[in-house]
Amino acid sequence: MLYVKEICERELPMAALLERKIFSDPWSEKAFFETLQSPGTIMFGAWEGESLAGYVIVYYVLDEAEIVRLAVKESCRRKGAAGQLFLKVKEFCAEKNITDIFLEVRRSNVPAITFYRKHGFQTDGIRKNFYTNPTEDAILMSSKAVK
């Protein structure tokens, strides 16, 4: 059974390992540590017992939040982990009076785009050649945090 909680510093190596397995342009473990230390950053993890099933990293300032990373290990996809992480983000946004959530996603990541649309995100634009390894456009999306 999955549960979601805030990720603490000692759990970051697990997130960095999952990152390397999922993304073609992974963040380093050092980047995870630096990110978590930055003001206006929160990280939540979805857990199966002691195993990290997925995580989300959110930057926030004033009434806006940006989902900068959302990852779920392959064996846990389509089992509710991303949905639970997203619900936790929405709860956090409500607590902080955040009204808008933004993100960008690789144009080729159709499952993620479909997931975000299902959760109320709309397409706002495109950033040409935003991603590397491989070079690819980013789809810019946004949603109201509280509906």
Residues catalogued as catalytic: 104, 116
**Cα-only R_g, the chain:** 14
Q: What is the C-alpha separation between 12 and 10, in angstroms, rounded?
A: 6
CA-based torsion, 52, 68, 120, 61: positive or negative: positive
SS (H, E, C) 44-73: EEEEECCEEEEEEEEEEECCEEEEEEEEEC
